[in-house]
Amino acid sequence: MPIVTLVQAINMALDEELRRDERVMILGEDVGQRGGVFLATEGLQQKYGPDRVMDTPLSEAAILGAAVGLAAHGMRPVAEIQFADYVFPGIDQLFSQAAKLRYRSGGQFTAPMVVRMPSGGGVKGGHHHSQSPEAHFAHTPGLKVVVVSTPYDAKGLLKSAIRDDDPVVFMEPKRLYRAVKEEVPSDDYLIPIGKAALRREGRDITLVSYGGPMVETLKAAEEMAVAGVEAEVIDLRTVMPWDKETVLNSVAKTGRLLVVSEAPRTASVASEVAATVSEELFDQLLAPPLRVTGFDTPYPLAQDKLYMPTVTRILNAAKRLLDY
pTM for the structure as a whole:
0.96
Q: Residue 119 — φ and ψ, nearest 5°?
A: -135, 170
List, in order, residues 6 or more apart from 299 with CB less than 8 Å away.
121, 125, 126, 127, 130, 131, 307
Listed residues 125, 160, 183: the one ending a domain = 183
Listed residues 148, 183, 218: the one ending a domain = 183
| Structural domain count, the chain | 2
248 to 174, 245, 316: CA distances (angstroms): 30, 5, 23
Domain enclosing residue 211, as ranges: 197-323
* Catalytic-role residue among 128, 129, 136, 139: 129
- Look at residues 254, 286, 291 and name the one whose alpha carbon lies nearest to residue 272: 291
**CATH number of the domain enclosing 255:** 3.40.50.920
Task: Flag whether 263 is in a domain.
Answer: yes
Per-residue pLDDT of the chain (324 residues; tens, 9 = 90+): 899 999 999 999 999 999 999 999 999 999 999 999 999 999 999 999 999 999 999 999 999 999 999 999 999 999 999 999 999 999 999 999 999 999 999 999 999 999 999 999 988 888 899 999 999 999 999 999 999 999 999 999 999 999 999 999 999 999 999 999 999 999 999 999 999 999 999 999 999 999 999 999 999 999 999 999 999 999 999 999 999 999 999 999 999 999 999 999 999 999 999 999 999 999 999 999 999 999 999 999 888 888 999 999 999 999 999 999
Query: 133 and 277, same structural domain?
Result: no
Task: Flag whether 191 is in a domain.
Answer: no
Is residue 241 reached through a cis peptide bond, with omega within 30 degrees of 0 on the bond before it? yes
Query: 231 and 133, same structural domain?
Result: no
Query: How far apart (Å, rounded) are the C-alpha atoms in residues 305 and 228?
Result: 28
- Burial per residue of 105-143, b for 16 or more beta-carbon CB atoms within 10 angstroms, e otherwise: eeeeebbbbbbbbbbbbbeebeeebbbbbbbbbbebebb
Told to judge if 129 belongs to the known catalytic residues of this protein, a careful annotator would answer: yes
Q: Residue 149 — φ and ψ, nearest 5°?
A: -140, -10
